[in-house]
Structures are given as structure tokens and as C-alpha cells.
Amino acid sequence: MVYATLVHAVVTRNLWTVALAPLWGYGFAWVGHFVFEKNRPATFQYPVLSLISDFVMFGQLLTGKLSFQETRVDSSQGV
């Protein structure tokens, strides 16, 4: 959604749309951290590293080095 929002901002020449990019990029993640995981996202302490990490992760997703396939951990093995 972030990239679509930025493309939309360029195509329509509406710079106010750029203000929505952080909301799409971090808003849902922050809700997940605060509501479900009950912790504070590292974005607040390390905003630049967080942004860089997002681009690295997106690049790995595009190149196939990262997948979002669910993995199961056997808790009986003490992991």
C-alpha cells in the first residue's frame, strides 16, 4: 500500500497523499504491536534503522530470499 500511495501521489501530483504513506506503512504494524503483542515497536527508538530494514525486507521478498510461509515449532523439543 505504501508504494501504491506514493505512485498515486506522483501521478495525481497531490503531495498531501504522501502524508498517508507512513500511516499505511507503520499504522497497522503499530496496532499489532500495541494490541496483540503488548509491546512497543522499535520504530520509535530507531526510526531510520526501521525504515532501512523495511526496504531490505521488501527487497528480499522480491528476490525470493524471504517468504511468508508459516512454520510450526514443536514445543515438545524444548524450543
Summarize pLDDT for 4-15 with one digit per residue, the tens: 888 888 899 888
DSSP, residue by residue, the chain: -HHHHHHHHHHHT-GGGGGGHHIIIIIHHHHIIIIII-S--GGGT-HHHHHHHHHHHHHHHHHTS---------GGGT-
Instruction: Say if pTM beats, i.e. exceeds, 0.75.
Output: no
Summarize pLDDT for 15-50 with one digit per residue, the tens: 888 888 888 878 888 898 899 989 988 888 998 898
Q: Judge whether residue 63 has pLDDT over 60.
A: yes
Locate cell 503499530: which residue?
Answer: 30
pLDDT number for residue 78: 56
Domain positions in the chain? 2-64
Amino acid at 27: G
